[in-house]
């Protein structure tokens, strides 16, 4: 039987230091990989992972095993922390408050993201060749930054189906673009 993430997280909630160490030993490298893919800087990714384990220690009591498994919970915390750090690292532009109401709110519409691509772009042409499900899954992943689990929830499809759509869609895009 494999490592029981949920039990370790619940033990952290009860103040068991050895449970946090076990979680760290089991998942620190994997979580560092998640942070590295997002941040592309090892030093920053290491800081994020450290913050994740501090957060796990402090907020372990918020984990609900009925809502998902512990490993996914750790991954989500890491992903969110890395994305927050990435946003914080980007320079911010001055916003004209009066023009904010003019900005369309199409965050949940991957088709709007596709429309923003230049009409003549090769990528747009290749994306349009994909079937609707693959195109939507890829746009949600790479334009909106959704995880595969989030995409599966939004599309009301099994996680493995979404994972396959993205993988096959990316292979088709690569073939089309070359």
Q: Is residue 158 part of a domain?
A: yes
Most confident of 38-47, 85-94, 121-130: 38-47
- Whether residues 66 and 121 share a domain: the answer is no
Where among 89, 121, 147 does a domain terminate?
89
- What is the model's pLDDT at position 125? 84
Is the pLDDT higher at 142 or at 130?
A: 130
Structural domain total, the chain:
2
What is the per-residue pLDDT for 165?
A: 92
Q: For position 37, which CATH number holds?
A: 1.10.1740.10
Residue 115 covered by a domain = yes
Q: Does residue 116 share a domain with residue 80?
A: no
67 and 122 assigned to the same domain: no
Is 70 a member of any domain? yes
d(CA 136, CA 113): 10
- Residue 127 pLDDT level (bands cut at 50, 70, 90): confident
Owner of token pair 């965050």: 107
Could you tell me if residue 97 is inside a domain?
no
Judged against a pLDDT cut of 80, whether residue 38 lies above it is answered with yes
The parent domain of residue 126 ranges over 106-177
pLDDT in tens, 65-83: 888 888 889 999 999 999 9
In a domain, residue 33? The reply is: yes
At 8, the pLDDT band (50, 70, 90 cuts) reads very high
132-138-142 Cα angle (round to 5)? 150
Average confidence (pLDDT) over 84-94: 74
Spatial separation of the C-alpha atoms in residues 74 and 78, rounded to whole Å:
6
CATH code of residue 168? 1.10.10.10
Candidate ranges 17-21, 97-101, 115-119; pick with highest mean pLDDT: 17-21
Query: CA–CA separation, 151 vs 144, rounded Å?
Result: 10
Contact 74, 56 (CB under 8 A): yes
In the predicted structure, residue 105 carries a pLDDT above the cut 60: no
Residue in the structure block whose two tokens are 């590295």: 36
On average, the pLDDT of the chain sits at 83
Residue 137 sits at φ, ψ, to 5 deg, of -60, -45
On whether residue 43 sits in a domain, the answer given is yes
Q: Which residue has the higher pLDDT, 173 or 92?
A: 173
> Which pLDDT value is given to residue 99?
53
Q: 84 and 18, same structural domain?
A: yes
For residues 115 and 172, state if they share a domain.
Answer: yes
- Residue 110: how many CB atoms within 10 A of its CB? 24
In a domain, 96, yes or no: no
Helix, strand and coil in the chain, % to nearest 5: 75, 0, 25
In a domain, 140, yes or no: yes
157 and 114 in one domain? Answer: yes
Rounded-to-integer distance, Cα 135 and Cα 7, Å: 38
């Amino acid at each position: 039987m494999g490592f029981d993430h949920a039990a370790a997280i619940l033990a952290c909630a009860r103040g068991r230091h050895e449970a946090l160490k076990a979680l760290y030993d089991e998942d620190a490298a994997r979580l560092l990989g998640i942070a590295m893919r997002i941040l592309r800087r090892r030093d920053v990714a290491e800081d994020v992972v450290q913050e994740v384990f501090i957060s796990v220690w402090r907020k372990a009591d918020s984990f609900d095993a009925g809502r998902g498994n512990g490993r996914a919970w750790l991954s989500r915390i890491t992903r969110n922390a890395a994305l927050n750090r990435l946003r914080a690292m980007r320079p911010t532009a001055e916003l004209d408050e009066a023009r904010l109401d003019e900005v369309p709110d199409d965050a949940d519409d991957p088709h709007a993201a596709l429309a923003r691509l230049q009409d003549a772009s090769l990528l747009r042409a290749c994306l349009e060749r994909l079937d609707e499900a693959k195109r939507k899954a890829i746009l949600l992943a790479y334009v909106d930054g959704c995880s595969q689990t989030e995409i599966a929830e939004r599309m009301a499809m099994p996680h493995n189906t979404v994972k396959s759509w993205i993988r096959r869609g990316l292979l088709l895009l690569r073939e089309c673009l070359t």
